[in-house]
A and B are shown apart, each in its own frame.
Chain A
Amino acid sequence: MTVALPTMFAVIGVFIVATKALHAAFPAPIEAEDDEEEYEDEE
Chain B
Amino acid sequence: MEVLIQQYPWLDELLMGFFGLSWKHVVMWAVGALLIYLAVKHDYEPSLLLPIGFGAVLANIPHSSAVSTVPGEEGFLIVLYNAGIANELFPVLIFVAIGAMCDFTPLIRRPSVMLFAAAAQFGIFATAIGATLVGFSFEHAASIGIIGAADGPTTIYVASRFAQELLGPLSVAAYSYMSLVPVIQPPVIKALTTESERKIKMGFEGEEPVSQTTKFLFPIMITVIAGIVAPISVALIGSLMFGNLLKESGVVDNLSNAAQNELANLITLVLGITIGGTMSAERFLTFEVFLIMALGAVAFVFDTAGGVLFAKLLNMFSSTKINPMIGACGISAFPMSGRVIAKMALKEDPTNFIIQHAIGVNVAGQVASVVAGGLVLALIPALAK
Q: Chain B: how many interface residues by the 8 Å CB criterion? A: 38
- Which chain A positions have C-beta within 8 A of B48? none
* Interface SS of A by simple majority: helix
CB-contact partner of B371 in A3, A8, A25, A28, under 8 A: A8
A9 lies within 8 A of chain B by Cβ? yes
Distance of B154 from chain A, by nearest CB (Å): 14
Distance of A21 from chain B, by nearest CB (Å): 9
CB-contact partner of A7 in B111, B115, B213, B379, under 8 A: B379
Contact A4 B376 (CB under 8 A): yes
Contact A3 B383 (CB under 8 A): yes
B314 lies within 8 A of chain A by Cβ? no
Q: A2 — nearest CB in chain B belongs to which residue?
A: B125
CB-contact partner of A11 in B108, B122, B229, under 8 A: B229
- Which chain A positions have C-beta within 8 A of B108? 19, 22-23
- Which chain A positions have C-beta within 8 A of B117? 12
B31 lies within 8 A of chain A by Cβ? no
Contact sample, A vs B, 17 pairs, CB 8 Å cutoff:
A1-B129, A4-B124, A4-B376, A8-B121, A8-B368, A9-B118, A12-B114, A16-B112, A18-B225, A22-B108, A22-B214, A22-B221, A23-B111, A23-B208, A26-B211, A28-B209, A28-B214
Which residues of A approach B to under 8 Å, CB–CB?
1, 3-5, 7-9, 11-12, 14-16, 18-20, 22-23, 25-29
